Amino acid sequence: MPRVMVLGISEGDVSGIAAAVAGLNYFVTSAWDDMSLADAVANGSPEIVIVDIRMPNPDVVAIKNMISEYDQVGEAPRLVVCRNTKLPELQSRYFDDFMLYPFDNDELSMRLMRLLNKSQKTKSGTVVEANGLVVDTESFEVTVDGRQLSLTFKEFELLRFLATRSGRVHTREALLNQVWGYEYFGGLRTVDVHVRRIRAKLGPKHEDLVQTVHGVGYKFVRK
């Protein structure tokens, strides 16, 4: 059963949307503050996040900050529920789709299915291309302008993880957990060393595809 998280600023607001989603045969969790979000994440990573911004002057920054604490939430496609199309937030690439309230359950079902399919295709996709860089996640081959790179397995996994999440900032802790695993006891410098090696192999023309976000971590940037 696919997992959907409904995220807003009050329990009362998100409960109605959560009930509608549950009626469509999804496993639903709800969050409206740091504590409820921690509980929701403990029940499993969502495959889709629904963001409720129906209230006047929605504090989207606060919601983004809540999501940013959890990579497994931030990586899921986001569907916004709003009352009008005049919100500047709808122009942001941060959100993948939007739906006006009140909504029809058939429309809700369709939009969730589209995002779910998109999410599954992204996870199972075999090729990532950006600015002359080609990462084949099936053959484990990486080329830059047609030149094949010789990467270690961890270098490949780190580059693949960043490239398939273009534009998102990941802390060193998150990268260590996602690429090396929660049981890895090496230091955070391991991530820095692997990033430095990847950049050296990409070469001067492409090394800035993996950018440092000072005080936070790293992100992959498409030019």
Structural domain range at position 44:
3-122
Higher pLDDT, 62 or 93: 62
Residue 68's pLDDT is 77
- pLDDT, tens only, 18-60: 999 999 999 999 999 999 999 998 888 888 999 999 988 888 8
User: Domain check: are 136 and 101 in the same one?
Assistant: no
User: Domain check: are 48 and 99 in the same one?
Assistant: yes
Q: Which of 62, 93, 122 is the last residue of a domain?
A: 122
Mean pLDDT of 194-205: 95
Percent with pLDDT over 70 in the chain: 92
pLDDT at residue 188 greater than cutoff 90: no
User: Domain check: are 8 and 118 in the same one?
Assistant: yes
pLDDT at residue 121 greater than cutoff 60: no
Least confident of 161-170, 193-202, 208-217: 161-170
User: Domain check: are 147 and 109 in the same one?
Assistant: no
pLDDT at residue 122 greater than cutoff 60: no
User: Domain check: are 112 and 165 in the same one?
Assistant: no
User: Domain check: are 81 and 183 in the same one?
Assistant: no
User: Domain check: are 204 and 103 in the same one?
Assistant: no
For residues 160 and 172, is the Cβ–Cβ distance under 8 A? no
pLDDT band at 123 (very low <50, low <70, confident <90, very high): low
Residue 24's pLDDT is 95
The domain that contains 30 carries what CATH number? 3.40.50.2300
pTM of the model: 0.59
- pLDDT, tens only, 212-223: 999 889 999 986
